[in-house]
């Protein structure tokens, strides 16, 4: 299986995040991931910037185009990656589906800032017979899957309480952690705004929110990205504490144990288990999961329906703000 792929949008996630980094250790862009994975081959990239196209052609020895229409007049990809800014997701999808019949589409998150547009995107892919995946990449990480397994088996007991730190907007970056916690803890039950917060870039709100999921309650707190990046989830379970730090690059489980010296007292053990993470190659993980899904195997990446539920949760929260 070798699936021809077109990347629409050659910005940071499309191409830039891992330029200059070692491909053996860092796969953080769509271009590098699809170029390296044996189940795919790059057919081209699309971007209005001459400089971005020149960099793409130099790095990947592959054709580039200034617009989708020109690209699709020359190539017919089986998989299309939409990595343009979020407000352009819907129009880009409509333009590609008018001129091609891809087997699958991988769209950046969130699907849209507009819920009705997102629903139309899911429906459009269904009508074309194209499987829609959304790049909530943490879902594809082996570390996140191991946490899901432990929660499901009871090794990490429920209900949990926790704190999730995010920044750069609740819709844009907070959505990563809403989606991840829906994956771990089930559907959102209700939410309460604790503080309205500010607007990131004068457009995306950063509220503090308490969200109840089927498996527990999480308080989302907005950090200040301009000071430092802080993407961390701490889950406190009846039998221990899980720390998901640095955006998932560091994961640790600390079990609860009876104190050997103080009768009737239970605390967190001194020994801490490290859970392996693959976040330095997060985009490879996503592409590998797409290959599994298209090959008829079980896959854990986020599909269009799940991404739509995440957007519905986000909208329900923001309506309370």
The residue ranges of every structural domain in the chain are 3-136+284-303, 142-277
Looking at residue 306, its pLDDT comes to 97
Query: Quick check: do 3-136+284-303 and 142-277 share a fold?
Result: no
Place of tokens 């990449």: 137
Average pLDDT over residues 191-203: 94
Looking at residue 321, its pLDDT comes to 85
Give per-residue pLDDT as tens, 226-271.
Answer: 999 999 999 999 999 999 999 999 999 999 998 877 888 899 999 9
User: Please, what CATH class does the domain formed by 3-136+284-303 belong to?
Assistant: alpha beta
Q: Which two tokens stand for residue 252?
A: 């640790």
E strands in the chain: 3-8, 40-46, 64-65, 79-82, 104-107, 131-134, 160-166, 188-195, 199-200, 204-205, 208-213, 216-222, 232-237, 240-245, 250-258, 266-268, 273-275
Average pLDDT over residues 136-141: 97
Q: Are 182 and 188 in contact (CB under 8 A)?
A: yes
Looking at residue 231, its pLDDT comes to 96
Give per-residue pLDDT as tens, 259-277.
Answer: 877 888 899 999 999 999 9
For helices 304-318 and 115-128, what crossing angle results, to 10°? 170
Looking at residue 92, its pLDDT comes to 98
- Residue 315's CB is within 10 A of a number of other CB atoms, namely 14
Q: Are 241 and 268 in contact (CB under 8 A)?
A: yes
Per-residue pLDDT band for 1 (boundaries 50, 70, 90) equals low
- 142-277: which CATH number, 3.30.1490.20, 3.30.2010.10, 1.10.1740.10, 3.30.360.10? 3.30.360.10
Lowest mean pLDDT among 133-147, 152-166, 264-278: 264-278
Residue 95, pLDDT > 70, answer yes
Average pLDDT over residues 50-79: 97
**Centroid of chain to Cα 122:** 17
Looking at residue 171, its pLDDT comes to 93
Buried b / exposed e along 11-23 (16+ C-beta atoms within 10 A): bebbbebbeeeee
For helices 142-153 and 175-185, what crossing angle results, to 10°? 40
Interatomic CA distance for residues 310 and 282, integer angstroms: 20
């Amino acid at each position: 299986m070798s699936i021809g792929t077109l990347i629409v949008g050659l910005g940071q996630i499309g191409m830039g995040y891992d330029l200059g980094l070692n491909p053996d250790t860092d796969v953080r862009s769509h271009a590098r991931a699809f170029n390296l994975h044996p189940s795919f081959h790059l057919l081209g990239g699309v971007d209005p910037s001459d400089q971005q196209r020149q960099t793409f052609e130099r790095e990947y020895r592959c054709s580039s185009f200034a617009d989708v229409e020109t690209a699709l007049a020359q190539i017919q990809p089986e998989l299309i990656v939409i990595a343009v800014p979020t407000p352009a997701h819907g129009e880009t999808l409509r333009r590609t589906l008018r001129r091609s019949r891809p087997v699958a589409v991988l769209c950046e998150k969130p699907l849209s800032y507009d819920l009705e547009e997102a629903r139309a995107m899911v429906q459009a892919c269904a009508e074309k017979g194209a499987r829609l995946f959304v790049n909530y990449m943490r879902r594809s990480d082996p570390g996140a899957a191991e946490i899901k397994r432990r929660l499901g088996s009871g090794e990490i007991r429920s209900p949990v309480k926790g704190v999730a730190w995010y920044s750069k907007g609740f819709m844009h970056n907070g959505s990563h952690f809403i989606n991840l916690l829906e994956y771990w803890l089930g559907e959102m039950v209700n939410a309460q705004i604790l503080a309205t917060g500010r607007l990131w870039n004068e457009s995306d709100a950063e509220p503090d929110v308490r969200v109840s999921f089927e498996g527990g309650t999480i308080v989302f707190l907005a950090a200040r990205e301009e000071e430092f990046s802080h993407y961390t989830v701490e889950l406190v379970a009846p039998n221990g504490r899980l720390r998901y730090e640095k955006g998932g690059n560091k994961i640790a489980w600390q079990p609860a144990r009876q104190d050997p010296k103080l009768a009737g007292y239970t605390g967190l053990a001194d020994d801490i288990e490290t859970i392996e993470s693959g976040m330095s190659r997060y985009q490879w993980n996503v592409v590998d999961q797409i290959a599994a899904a298209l090959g008829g195997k079980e896959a854990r990446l986020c599909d269009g329906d799940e991404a739509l539920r995440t957007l519905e949760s986000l909208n329900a929260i923001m309506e309370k703000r």
